[in-house]
Structure 1
Amino acid sequence: MKRGYPESLSSSLGPPQSRFKHNPQGDAQFPEDESTKIFARKVADHYSARTNQTLEEREASPIIHLKKLNNWIKSVLIQLYARKGDAVLDLACGKGGDLIKWDKAKVEYYVGVDIAEGSMEDCRTRYNGDADHHQRRKKFTFPARLLCGDCFEVRLDKVLANDAPFDICSCQFAMHYSWSTEARARRALANVSALLRPGGTFIGTMPDANVIIKKLREAEGMAFGNSVYWIQFDEEFSDKKFKSSSPFGIKYKFHLEDAVDCPEWIVPFHLFKSLAEEYGFELVFVKNSHEFVHEYMKRPEFIELMRRLGALGDGNRDQTTLSPEEWEVAYLYLAFVLKKRGQPEWTQANSRKDKGQMQISKEDILYISSDV
């Protein structure tokens, strides 16, 4: 695997004057506009249109080793912070690709939320064990609920009042979709804060704004990339300067072969951290994906996990590994862990038994709107 990139730029948390002022009204004073909803719908339609791949199709992907690396990063986060018996809130859960990871962590209850109808149907199919590439797998050991709606727009605390509190919340490769407006960014963090118990953990992955802006400034024009990805900024950002006083709505187009082709938004992590603090969180760590790999590949159990997942080959006959182009894409992302302040309140495991179902029908998926 190619090395040589500098240490994570995300460790710098920015100047203290960039902190947000307390806003007791939450997101109420930042109304949504129609253009934001249109972009959210584009993202939803993009992911809905992507079908579940067979094992053969997946292995033929030009970014198969990057996908396996991302799975390794998510697996490490879950192994580090999920505990047996936990109740899990999975925001932007997509097609349920992390269900097996949660099952291996022996969690006791799972709620998945996603805006894309097609993804939710695939997630339901996967949970039920009906997907072709999961037929040989036993049923999942935890009951689950699935909700279809925009978790960066609706108030989930109303919908999930009887399911909370959750012990751990996960939002993988999706939090940046909330950063199109301050209202959405606040709603995202307000939802997590309202539903996590004191002492609960929020884990996630998202683009590393410092790396993306650094690459933009090094590029001759407004676009950069390699054979498997490209990022294009609009001409309105032609000076390549971004004011900390206007951190929301910095949009770019992101294309990643066999994965993503839709608008995304810059998330300056020091401002994300400051906003999260307003909602009762404290930072445990933030690491660029390169830094994350270097650190946790020092631990034998995670080396073995990497071998099993195959991102770097299996260490034996299979010598295939990430290409330099895939490793460069990994550099565009970071992993973070936040902890909700307060004394831990351990939930009673028995109270979760009857909340979800072990088999989910189409009618069981709850569709929620911003009117909730």
Structure 2
Amino acid sequence: MKRGYQESSSSGSFGPPHSKFKYNPEGDAQFLEDDNTKIFAKKVADHYSARTNQTLEEREASPIIHLKKLNNWIKSVLIQLYAKRGDAVLDLACGKGGDLIKWDKARIGYYVGIDIADGSTAAHDIMVMRTITNAAKKFSFPARLICGDCFEVRLDKVLAEDAPFDVCSCQFAMHYSWSTEARARRALANVSALLRPGGIFIGTMPDANVIVKKLREAEGLQFGNSVYWIRFDEEFENKDAVDCPEWIVPFHVFKTLAEEYGLELVFVKNSHVFVDEYMKKPEFVELMRRLGALGDGKEDQSTLSPDEWEVAYLYLAFVLRKVES
């Protein structure tokens, strides 16, 4: 066992596109992709690998800095609600480990983060899982950061000595699994296989209902404001965010597919509803003040712009629970 601690616990109503299957000697034919899907996955990996670390000054100068702080607040609230002391955590599409501090505040016992991007090398095989660091020394728990495609690789084999996990998290990335049915199923199969019965899956992703509503209200196939824009059915570039293919996920289809893998819905809330509900709790008001998304309530009166608040409306938060057998 690698933990090192003692155990405690594109629109409408359609699903992801069907995959073109090919023979898999291990018998997982329904989860294998055609080459076009791998090209899209590599484009996502290359995009995130090419992003450089920003200084604090550079981050604060971002035109969407308050939106980023709000997103951090939403993730922090989810973690505080569902992570317990000593929990083992699996973080899918973890990036460069930016949420490690949040998990540390929750006093978790063990952490494994997996991401398709590897900023430390110029070239990599996204199908090969490999450890890029074995410990996060400044945190109170042992951690592993692994490079690999968590929406294609069968993780129960890779993490056989690490599982089961008490909490799985996938923040602002689950929609990247929605390029084909095979990837969507692999993502949910991985979550289900690695969570203990009763374990929790928390996440955030685009709200398809809102995006489709805005598309129907738009004059053409494009809409946005001063800090974002979305264009359908052609090459697009998203300001201060992502310049690579993305997909929207009709949540009722996501919920139905998740149920096939023994994951039941606890709640789903648009970000506006989430903020309204949890800002009624004093502990989360104080957390918002510390993070600064709405200023500090004193000298700092800065807050989200109306355009940033509109972007927040494009996302939702969800919680699923693995059914106890």
Q: Shift of the alpha carbon at 1:340?
A: 0.2
Residues 1:206 and 2:212 are matched in the alignment = no
Cα-to-partner distance string for 1:108-150 (whole Å, 9 max, x where unaligned): 00000000011899x978x757xxxxxxxxx101001121110
Please list the CA deviations of residues 15-71 of structure 1 after superposition, one character each: whole Å capped at 9, or x if unmatched. 9x99xxxxxx99623541111111111111111111111111110001000000000
SS of the residue 1:62 aligns to = coil
Specify which of 306, 309, 318 is matched with residue 291 of structure 2. Answer: 309
Deviation at 1:253, TM superposition (A): 4.1
Would the aligned equivalents of 1:253 and 1:264 in 2 still touch at CA under 8 Å? Answer: no
Write the letter of the residue equivalent to 1:186: R
The amino acid that maps onto 1:207 is P
Do residues 296 (structure 1) and 278 (structure 2) align? Answer: yes
In 1, the alpha carbon distance for the partners of 2:312 and 2:120 equals 24
Match of 2:165 in 1: 166
The CA distance in 2 between the partners of 1:27 and 1:278, in whole Å, is 16
Q: Which residue of 1 aligns with 2:225?
A: 226
How far is 1:265 from its partner? 0.6
Distance 1:120 1:56 in 2: 26
Letter in 2 for 1:194: A
TM-score (norm 1): 0.75
1:56 aligns with 2:37: no
Give the counterpart letter for 2:255 in structure 1.
K
The SS at the match of 1:162 is coil
Pairing partner for 2:257 from 264, 271, 275 = 275
Kept in 1: contact 2:151–2:177 (CA 8 A)? yes
> Deviation digits for residues 271-298 of structure 1, max 9, x if unmatched?
0000000000110000000000000000
Q: Any stretches of 5+ residues in structure 1 without a counterpart?
A: 1-13, 19-24, 130-138, 236-251, 344-372
Q: How many residues align?
A: 295
Task: Indicate whether 1:195 and 2:194 are aligned.
Answer: yes
Question: 1:302-337: CA deviations, max 9, x gaps?
Answer: 000000000000000000000011001100000000
Secondary structure of 2:52's partner?
A: coil
CA distance, structure 2, for counterparts of residue 254 and residue 194 of structure 1: 36
Shift of 1:95: 1.2
After TM superposition, what 4+ stretches of structure 1 lie above 6 angstroms from structure 2? none
1:76-87 alignment runs, 5 A limit: 76-87=77-88
Q: Are 1:319 and 2:298 counterparts?
A: no
The 1:337/1:320 distance shift into structure 2, 3 A limit, reads same
**Identity score, percent:** 82
1:215 aligns with 2:198: no
Aligned equivalents of 1:261, 1:324: Cα separation in 2: 23
C-alpha contact 1:120 1:148 (8 A) present in aligned 2: no
The corresponding residue for 1:351 is none
